[in-house]
Amino acid sequence: MNDQNLERYGRHILLPEIDFEGQQKLLDSHVLVVGLGGLGSPASIYLASSGIGELTLCDFDDVELSNLQRQIVHTEDNLKTNKAHSAKGFISSINSNISINVVDKKLSENEFDIYVNKYSVDAILDCSDNFQTRYSVNKVAFKNKIPLISGSAIRFEGQLAIFDFRSNSSACYECLFPDNGEENELRCADHGILAPVVGIIGVMQSLETIKVLLNLSPIKNKLKIFDGKSNEWKTIAFKKDKECAVCSCSSDQS
């Protein structure tokens, strides 16, 4: 680790749970962020500032004026710009010493699979806003035994779950939210979202990602639900579904 990194990440290195070895592990890690909206914005910013050595930013959408209420990685100067490219520009201004890749098209499940294999992804953040993408990312993460850090938010409420597929005992996203083929998701454009709520969940996704990469006992098989009105968290434990179409074929060994 060079002198510049020692100075930049010095406050991390002071933490005994991280130290030099842990910070170097972060610098050697590659994280895929799917969705650069309300969740992906704060998550990607903190991952970059924390020294994740390689980030891949994936989003096919363009920045709109209505996004700026909560998607803090984008600015007025980047309206009508692809979100992944917009985010790269902002993040590079924070930390120019990390590698940032951009995927600016909608990936199929097969394309996600090819990408994570080709580029050796260590963790995936699902910051998307639709079930189709969440189910696809879940399948790819499970297949390749890559930890998945999933977040969502609507109105005053946010949710966070970590699926650590390095352990065969981990449940998956579909265990928690079975795919019944119905499009019944709530969308911010229709129901609203309080801006700081997505910030809280996105920051928590970045925190849990760092804990996953450093093996610092991340939350597993628990759904964390945040109530922005009361500022309270509720925890719901869940188990691997033995009949899950995605992960039921694996053993219960960890």
Closest to 202 (Cα-Cα) out of 246, 142, 158, 140: 158
CB 226 within 8 A of CB 118: no
Instruction: Find residue 148's DSSP bridge partners.
Output: 124, 163
188 is catalytic: yes
DSSP 153-180: EEBTEEEEEEE-TTSTT---HHHHS---
What are the beta bridge partners of residue 154? 157
Dihedral sign of CA atoms 137, 142, 145, 150 in order: positive
Active-site residue among 58, 172, 175, 188?
A: 188
- Using an 8 Å Cβ cutoff, are 25 and 214 in contact? yes
Catalytic residues: 188
